[in-house]
Structure 1
Amino acid sequence: MDSPSARRDLVRAREALDNGAFVPAAGHLATALTHAPTLPEIHELLSRLAARAGGALELFPAEPHAPAGRLAARAHLLAAAGRPEEALPLLATASGHAPELDWAGVPWVGDPALGARIEPGLLARTVMRLCTAVGDPAPAATVTPLRPYLTVVRHALAAHGEHGMLLGAGSALARRLGEVRLAVEWAGRGAKAQPSKLGEIWLGYAFRSAGRMPEALAALRRAVAYDPEDLSVYADVAATLADLGRLDEALRWTELALERDPAFDCVVHTAHRLRYRADGDVRHLVGLADFLRDHPDDAHEHTDLEECCRNTPWLGGLPPGTPLPAGRAPVNAEPSADALHRLQRVAGPVWPHPPGAYDRALGLVLVEPWELLALLAHPETARADQQNGLEVWACLGLLHHGAEEPWPESSRRRLLLGLLDGEVDRVTQAALFALVTYAWVDPAARDDIAAVVTARLTETASGPNARAVAELALAAPGLDRPTRELAAATIRVPATPRQRGRGRSLLRWRRD
């Protein structure tokens, strides 16, 4: 791997070393490693620095939050000094910081002697920390750079025999890297060598990755038997039951866990996701969004809300199909080029979930409200082939202006309701989505916005673009059951088109 940036840092490091400036030389070498971790010239110059600076370890201190390049440099120096077992955890930390880089693609990591020298428990802990850092599954670009760590595990197992923790940790890494057969083999051996709750969890996860759901369920049930108080395993059992099509049983497991701790994050996420899967009611996802807002410091990141919203109209992005007609703007003015640029930079057809869309639009607080309104009729916005939902993002931007104002009397409410008055087009659709989004992030506004959505749905239910409003209604919090049923029926049964005049039924909701 070569890199112009690495070459520049290498030149600077060589100049500094020739001048006896060891600290600057070390800094340039550490930076060069972040661009090309396996470039031979960097390692050669690192060896020269070590020879001239008494090993040079003090030039690369392993402080908390040390940069990855510095950690890697120290690791290579330790390995060269005959201490590779001390070096590997540092190199793994560097891989955790930037797993797409080939930090471990160096000869000393692949040497079988390292596996024999490193203590199996230390290697297991190192691999577990690496697993936490790289994600599950690991992104495709990181798989090849991380495979050398599997090689170290193989060598260690060959040298030390059946070590339960190492087999389990190795299985977790193998699973993340797509080595499913190896993950099952190692987890099975680990659970047999050292029976434990964690061993059964690793085995259950490996079986899940292999699609062997009944065996996964059996392993996870054994994990619960080891420790009935670990509610996170209840969530795993519930998810596995759901994948087996046993949704009622799955929900009972979440209810049992929530009776013990109503705020246990893993179970709360799983319960809301499975309830939504059971009946498709958006209130479960809104409840999950509320939980996320009220518990920002959960132990680890969950993706249940994003996964449930993905590919669902308005929950995870713009609906597919032929776009509605372009709408009108209430402001007859020319927005600045900077305003258009900011809108285009934020806009896009996909978002993780409505609160995520709201957060993404925060940058539009730098665009004046009148410009956001003017952008609704800008030629770039009105183009028929415009697929980034510029109108949607302009209306979301309005939500961030006057945010300190109480919702019922706020200017943002007044502006959005003003945009909503008229035929169903891209502007009225965007304004309604902005209102729906605000209902997701502000529980106090839900009843008011539910009433607006209900009125709009009722007004348009038999019109030519009724489906566009019905899809938005199904994404709205707080709608009563008859309204949700009307929206669902509107989507299932195509409406008979007929001409309608400009709608006025929403005017009673406006508070100018």
Structure 2
Amino acid sequence: MPEDDPALSAAEELALARLALDEGDLEHAAGHVAAALAQAPTLPEVHETLARLAAASGGGVDLFPLDHHTFVGAAVARAHLLAAAGRPAEGLDLLAAATGYAPRTDWAGVPWVTAPELVERIAPEHVARILMQVCGAVPDPVPRAGRPALAAYLTLAGNAVTAHPEHGLLLGAASALARRVGEVTQAIGWAARGVRAEPSKLGEVWLGYAYRSAGRTREALAALGRAVAHDPNDLAVYADIAGTLADVGRLDEALDWIERALARDPTFDCAVHTAHRLRYLRDGDVAHLVALADFAREHPDDTHEHGDLAECCRSRPWLGQVTPAAGPLADALRRSGAGDRGGAVRLPTPPPPSALRTATAAAPGLRIEVAGAGEPDGREPRRADSRPLWRYEGADVAPAVAAPSAAAAERLRRLAHPAWPHPPAAYDAAVGLATLELADLLGLLAHPPEPPAGAVGQVLAEQDPALWVRCVQVWACLGLLHHRTDEPWEGSTRRRVLLDLVWGVEDWTTEAALFALVTAAWVDPAVRPDVARVVAERLADAAVVARTRPVPIAISLAHLALATPALDAQTRDLATGLVAAGTTAPRPRNPLTRLWHRLTLRPHP
């Protein structure tokens, strides 16, 4: 078998376990059996060796004690031995805990769990609790690849329902599991039986969820409405109804339900999160998302995690991902990344320095022909007092800063990614760059390291080298936000350096630095007026320049403005107009649409 086959590793552990058993060394044998179970929890040979160990030790349970750091294989071994000793309920508790630890592993796929007679030895309330524990440990719905690991629990649910056909709690919990693993018809049937047997708020909620998963919105809303009638004070159900209505486009009704919840408790976390999400869906104003981020920061002890902010930011320019580079040279770079390394691209004015440097490195056969300098010259800083990141030598451009250290390059290489859940999450993730020297952070902007090894790095390098460079620059600027945070914002090094980049030569680093400032405004309300002013001035400057020459970064700056907290209405209107003009303008077909979708499906944590 291949070396990475889990069964091979288990076989090696079992061989050592048998040797220890033959020598009477039961503790070492137990350790090897636990390791084998962790590798291959359903392998028959593992359970045969565990049975030998039990026979040699009078049951074997004491060989696998529990503490705060119990190895998962030892917990699973103890579960099987408890079941063999006539204590299957305790064994199921441990298997459910193992599933919570590693939900994609089939810890429960063994005969004693799926045997019909097991449910005669365990109270239905206990089975329901096990099923609810498993549900709480897995996504809703569970991806197809993760469903086989839960098949034994679904069999257990079916056996328990057969034995206790009128137990409302059990039927509802069984429905919840069935729904998560894609057995929606079964989920509806079990939940409906549960409601008929024992009408309750929780039963109606389970039924409503099952109907919703089946796309039967009318029945789902009716069930959730009955849940409200059972308990008008459970505001989580109001949020569920609002979310269900929003999913089918009934936004006004959804907002009405969530306002009813907020009227009862303005601080209830589910209602607040849902309300801000729905308001953003209604009018697209980022102020709702900023308010949601503020609420989450001020209430870190919410009852559970919410995904509303990440859902709203996902795939949106700068809110959840870096925007691909714009302009004819960026398009040519993508074509060269796809394999066309030669040819020529004709530009009306000089390209951004980062674009030129990336093209020279990634597509050395690409001829770049520039018609003229343009007015104003894009190779000059937009403000004369900005410290230069680049210097021009004739038609060529070179970094004006030294290359970063190898350690700094490696640290950023491990971190950079084109997507993030939302700006505060990006800020938090960048704390890993807090100890880098300022010279290293600036060096990373002008000397981007090679992409990391692995599939994502290879795709970025080969298909869109510009995207990797932009990732590096974005994360280096986020690192600048963590530089000398003890300094007050107004006179801080981090603010000064980011402003130098914002007002320097028109470049991709302009966008990256402005995104860092926008992110600072998301996480610190005190800096919002300052950042909003900078964003407004930089966008207005780009709009003026665009009247006389192309500004490839203008649309991206507009998206950044629309992501800025506390932006004035006039600048927001300007940004909206620029985005609309860029959306309607003819653009070449982007061959990376599918690739971009793949890269941003799993945001960097």
- Using structure 2 for the length normalisation, give the TM-score: 0.78
1:404 and 2:486 matched: yes
1:368 and 2:441 matched: no
Question: 1:63 and 1:191, CA in 2 relative to 1: closer, same or farther beyond 3 A?
Answer: farther
**CA distance in 2: counterparts of 1:156 and 1:475, whole angstroms:** 52
1:46 and 2:46 matched: no
Structure 2 counterpart of 1:438, one-letter code: A
Q: 1:489 aligns with which of 577, 582, 585?
A: 577
Question: 1:55 and 1:100, CA in 2 relative to 1: closer, same or farther beyond 3 A?
Answer: same
* 8 A contact 2:325–2:466 mirrored in 1: no
Question: 1:495 and 1:291, CA in 2 relative to 1: closer, same or farther beyond 3 A?
Answer: closer
C-alpha displacement at 1:434, in angstroms? 0.6
**CA distance in 1: counterparts of 2:46 and 2:293, whole angstroms:** 48
**Which residue in 2 is equivalent to 1:478?**
566
C-alpha displacement at 1:62, in angstroms? 4.3
- Structure 1 residues without counterparts, runs of 5 or longer: 498-512
C-alpha displacement at 1:441, in angstroms? 0.8
Q: 2:166 aligns with which of 150, 162, 165?
A: 162
**Which residue in 2 is equivalent to 1:449?**
531
**CA distance in 1: counterparts of 2:89 and 2:434, whole angstroms:** 52
Q: 1:263 aligns with which of 247, 263, 267?
A: 267
* 8 A contact 1:95–1:103 mirrored in 2: yes
* SS of alignment partner, residue 323 of structure 2: coil
* 8 A contact 2:76–2:98 mirrored in 1: yes
* 8 A contact 1:115–1:157 mirrored in 2: no
Deviations 1:398-427 (A, max 9, x none): 111101111111110000000111353211
1:246 and 2:250 matched: yes
**Which residue in 2 is equivalent to 1:14?**
18
C-alpha displacement at 1:344, in angstroms? 1.4
Deviations 1:435-485 (A, max 9, x none): 011111111111100000010111112522321210111111110222111
* 8 A contact 1:85–1:114 mirrored in 2: no
Q: 2:417 aligns with which of 334, 337, 348?
A: 348
Structure 1 counterpart of 2:435, one-letter code: L
**CA distance in 1: counterparts of 2:20 and 2:532, whole angstroms:** 67
C-alpha displacement at 1:106, in angstroms? 1.2
**CA distance in 2: counterparts of 1:128 and 1:352, whole angstroms:** 28
1:329 and 2:389 matched: yes
Deviations 1:185-221 (A, max 9, x none): 1111111111000000001111111111111111111
Answer with 38-47 or 429-438: which moved more. 38-47
**Which residue in 2 is equivalent to 1:290?**
294
Deviations 1:145-169 (A, max 9, x none): 1011111111111122221111100
Q: 2:137 aligns with which of 125, 130, 133?
A: 133
1:338 and 2:407 matched: yes
* SS of alignment partner, residue 419 of structure 2: coil
Structure 1 counterpart of 2:569, one-letter code: R
**CA distance in 2: counterparts of 1:23 and 1:12, whole angstroms:** 12
Structure 1 counterpart of 2:440, one-letter code: E
C-alpha displacement at 1:386, in angstroms? 3.3
* 8 A contact 2:276–2:292 mirrored in 1: yes
* SS of alignment partner, residue 424 of structure 1: coil
**CA distance in 2: counterparts of 1:283 and 1:222, whole angstroms:** 34
Alignment of 1:3-152 (within 5 A): 3-63=7-67, 66-152=70-156
C-alpha displacement at 1:63, in angstroms? 4.5
**CA distance in 2: counterparts of 1:276 and 1:178, whole angstroms:** 31
**CA distance in 2: counterparts of 1:446 and 1:37, whole angstroms:** 54
* SS of alignment partner, residue 446 of structure 2: coil
Structure 2 counterpart of 1:277, one-letter code: L
- Structure 2 residues without counterparts, runs of 5 or longer: 331-350, 355-387, 391-399, 452-460, 586-605
**Which residue in 1 is equivalent to 2:360?**
none
Structure 1 counterpart of 2:22, one-letter code: D
* 8 A contact 2:413–2:449 mirrored in 1: no
Q: 1:203 aligns with which of 204, 207, 225?
A: 207
Higher relative contact order (CA 8 A, sep 6+): 2
For the aligned residue pairs, the C-alpha RMSD in angstroms reads 2.2
- Work out the number of aligned pairs and report it: 497
**CA distance in 2: counterparts of 1:379 and 1:357, whole angstroms:** 19
**Which residue in 2 is equivalent to 1:432?**
514
**CA distance in 2: counterparts of 1:255 and 1:5, whole angstroms:** 56
* 8 A contact 1:115–1:153 mirrored in 2: no
* 8 A contact 2:141–2:179 mirrored in 1: yes
Deviations 1:344-389 (A, max 9, x none): 1111111111111111111112321111101211164899723231
C-alpha displacement at 1:71, in angstroms? 2.2
**Which residue in 2 is equivalent to 1:299?**
303
Q: 1:469 aligns with which of 557, 578, 584?
A: 557
* 8 A contact 1:381–1:390 mirrored in 2: no
C-alpha displacement at 1:64, in angstroms? 5.7
C-alpha displacement at 1:26, in angstroms? 1.9
* 8 A contact 1:116–1:155 mirrored in 2: no
* 8 A contact 2:82–2:90 mirrored in 1: yes
C-alpha displacement at 1:117, in angstroms? 2.7
Answer with 369-378 or 18-27: which moved more. 18-27
Answer with 26-35 or 343-352: which moved more. 26-35
Deviations 1:24-79 (A, max 9, x none): 32223222211110122221111111111110112223456643222211121123
Answer with 66-75 or 101-110: which moved more. 66-75
Q: 1:176 aligns with which of 174, 177, 180?
A: 180
Question: 1:60 and 1:381, CA in 2 relative to 1: closer, same or farther beyond 3 A?
Answer: closer
**CA distance in 1: counterparts of 2:450 and 2:514, whole angstroms:** 17
C-alpha displacement at 1:223, in angstroms? 0.5
Question: 1:351 and 1:48, CA in 2 relative to 1: closer, same or farther beyond 3 A?
Answer: same
C-alpha displacement at 1:495, in angstroms? 10
